[in-house]
Structure 1
Amino acid sequence: MTILLLGYMASGKSSVSKLLGKELGLSVLDLDDYIERKEEKTIREIFETKGEIYFRTKEHAYLKEILETKEAMIISLGGGTPCYANNMNLIHEYTKHTFYLQTSIPEIINRVKDEKAKRPLISAIADEDLPEFIGKHLFERNAFYQQATHRILTDKKSVEELVQEIEALLN
């Protein structure tokens, strides 16, 4: 069984995938980490040196490579992955277990405010401009996120609660 977690930055994809992997006895793969290992550069460096088009092309190729192994695992996608290169269609060819971790704008801001430097997408955005920037991004990405098989609301929930919800939907 392949399970994919998707959602905007700071929605909890990485944390949830790690605990879910332990609970289900499945390996966990973070797509961004995989890309960084393959490219031998951080995501930030890839964006800065080769640009977003190069990154999105590689992201699609690596996602396909992973899915084609048909190995049972949990995959945590980058926030933009579902929105490019028909990635959601590709994903649905390989699994029906897709979970959108939906997080509100205020909650996202609360989670990222102290780690902006680690997040290339928002590192140069002024704090007062974050709500509008994130809101616009979520609006643009929503149609892709909504293609997930399941939607999990993450606000005010622990990682353990989110994992329990996912496990209940899998049974």
Structure 2
Amino acid sequence: MVIVLIGYMGSGKSAVGRNLAEKLSLKFVDMDDFIEEKEQKSIPEIFRDKGEIYFRKAESHHLEALFAGSGDMVVALGGGTPCYGSNMEYIQGTTDKVVYLRASVEELTARLEKEKEHRPLIEHLSDSELEEFIRKHLFERNFFYLKANYSVKVDGRPVETISDEIISRVV
């Protein structure tokens, strides 16, 4: 069984993914960590040194490598992973257990204000620019996110509760 979590940055994919994998006794893979290991650089370093286009190509390559060599697992993808190239089609060809962790713009803004310096796409934005950026970006990405087999609302909900809902609906 392969469960893939998608959603905007800050939606809780990594935290929910770890909890879900533990509850199901499955391996957990955070796609960003996987890419950093393969590239031997942090995501911010890759963006800074080689740019977003290089990163997106590498991301697609590593996504295919991850699925080609792995068995049962829970995967937390990067927020943009399903939105580039044919990644979403590839993911859906691999599993029918794709879950969109759906967060409101207000929730995402509150979460991301605290961690901008670790996020290359938003580190340069002022707090006042952040909400508008998220609103626009989320609008663009929703086309891909809404292709998920399942959608789970995350606003104000504990990780445990979200994981339990995913298990009850997906497993």
- TM-score category of the 2 structures, normalised to the smaller one: over 0.9
TM-score by length of 2: 0.98
What is the distance in 2 between the residues matched to 1:83 and 1:23?
Answer: 29
- Matched residue of 2:74: which SS? strand
**1:69 Cα deviation after fit:** 2.1
% of aligned pairs identical? 46
Residue pair 1:70, 1:94 contacting (<8 A) in 2 also: no
Aligned to 1:11: 11
Q: Deviations over 1:1-52 (max 9, x none)?
A: 0000000011000000000011000000001100001101011111111111
Q: Can you give the 5+ residue segments of structure 1 that lack an aligned partner in the other structure? A: none
The letter for the 2-side match of 1:132 is: E
What is the distance in 2 between the residues matched to 1:112 and 1:131?
Answer: 9
TM-score by length of 1: 0.98
Q: Deviations over 1:62-90 (max 9, x none)?
A: 10011112410000000000000110100
Aligned to 1:142: 142
Count of aligned residue pairs for this structure pair: 171
What RMSD in Å do the two structures reach over aligned CA positions?
0.8
- Matched residue of 2:164: which SS? helix
**1:53 Cα deviation after fit:** 1.1
**1:112 Cα deviation after fit:** 1.4
Q: Can you give the 5+ residue segments of structure 2 that lack an aligned partner in the other structure? A: none
Aligned to 2:166: 166
Alignment of 1:1-171 (within 5 A): 1-171=1-171
* 4+ residue segments displaced more than 3 Å: none
